[in-house]
Amino acid sequence: MRTLAVMLESVFSGLDRRIEERWSAGNLSHGFWRTGSIPALVPVDTMREYGFWQARADLSPLGIARGMTGQFSVALLGGHTRMGLFLPNRLLEGISAWEASLTDTVSRAHDGQPAPIVRHVSGDTLFDRIFTEAPFSADWLLRCTQDVEAENILQTHLAWRVIDLWESAMRAVMSRQSHELGIVIESRKPLPPILTETVPLTLQDVYEIQPGRWITTVSMADGAAPGMNPLHGANPLQGASPAPADLSDLEARLQALLPEYGITIQKDAMQ
């Protein structure tokens, strides 16, 4: 039987390894996970033998956060596990792509439910969640001191929670930038890449914000002629924002091509 301190250090070493493997995969897809340009978490030294783990991230890859950093903290405590996400207040200013405050969107990005604790800490906003079910319970932590397989299960679940909480929040932040620069399409399924062979679109970003709710950001393809309507080979996005009528036409065409996808285009933000 190992001591609790030894077991905790082993768990966090495994979390380090899984985090490194996650971002070393680059711009690849693994199930519903997708790193893309999401800033990488980098673990830092903390008092791990007492159940504390921390990672930081340079938010510069977002393009709207030069010089800003984010932080993720985990506390494996007897009886519950806390996971906290710290983001700069300046990063959270404004409205998200879904017409809610960006703070509220980040708070709900993980599973659709708001984080139980949201508060300002110095120049950051903390999104804090508490998990009490297995394998984050006190009974399971004790079991991990005796059973290596129990520890592996804890490592897997811990890595999934950390990665999903972080990536969901980053997608919510990135949605604002993409929303401002392109056309935002919402659908029940991810749009097939082959669509670009039929409609003059360039896919900029694709992500699932909730089960069955996909967001795709697109722009009109570079090769399309300036000022033309996408229904007729025209391009309304060369040097100017598309008119609402053009977006309605594009929406109608996409709905006709993919009737089972539940496609809608966010037209209000482009006006």
Q: What is the pLDDT of residue 172?
A: 81
Task: Reply yes or no on whether the pLDDT at 192 is more than 90.
Answer: no
C-alpha closest to that of 129 among 153, 148, 106: 106
- Percent of the chain exceeding pLDDT 90 equals 43
Structure tokens at 202: 């360039």
- Region 169-193 average pLDDT: 77
Residue 224 per-residue DSSP state: S
Considering the chain, what is the average pLDDT of its residues?
A: 80
Q: What is the pLDDT of residue 97?
A: 54
* Close Cβ partners of 16 (under 8 Å, ≥ 6 residues apart): 43
pTM for this structure? 0.66
Q: What is the pLDDT of residue 198?
A: 83
Tell me which of 25-29, 103-107, 265-269 is least confident. Answer: 25-29
Neighbour count for residue 198 (Cβ, 10 Å): 12
Task: Reply yes or no on whether the pLDDT at 249 is more than 50.
Answer: yes
What phi and psi values does residue 125 have, to the nearest 5 degrees?
-110, 130
Contact assessment for residue 76 and residue 11, using Cβ atoms and an 8 Å cutoff: yes
Q: What is the pLDDT of residue 85?
A: 96
Collapse the DSSP code of 177 into the 3-class scheme (helix H, G, I; strand E, B; otherwise coil) and give the result: helix
Is 182-270 a domain of CATH 3.30.70?
A: yes
* Close Cβ partners of 5 (under 8 Å, ≥ 6 residues apart): 49, 50
Task: Reply yes or no on whether the pLDDT at 100 is more than 80.
Answer: no
3-state helix, strand, coil in the chain (%, to 5): 40, 30, 30
Task: Reply yes or no on whether the pLDDT at 2 is more than 90.
Answer: no
Contact assessment for residue 191 and residue 216, using Cβ atoms and an 8 Å cutoff: yes
Residues linked to residue 185 through DSSP beta bridges, in sequence order = 216, 265
Domain chopping of the chain, boundaries: 4-177, 182-270
Structure tokens at 155: 């490592």
Single-letter amino acid, residue 192: P
Q: What's the pLDDT tens digit per position in 214-240?
A: 888 787 654 443 344 444 444 333 334
pLDDT band at 65 (very low <50, low <70, confident <90, very high): low
Radius of gyration of the chain (CA): 21
Q: Which residue has the higher pLDDT, 173 or 145?
A: 145
Q: What's the pLDDT tens digit per position in 30-55?
A: 433 444 567 889 999 899 999 999 99
* Close Cβ partners of 186 (under 8 Å, ≥ 6 residues apart): 213, 214, 215, 216, 262, 263, 264, 265, 266
pLDDT band at 181 (very low <50, low <70, confident <90, very high): low
C-alpha closest to that of 217 among 205, 209, 229: 205
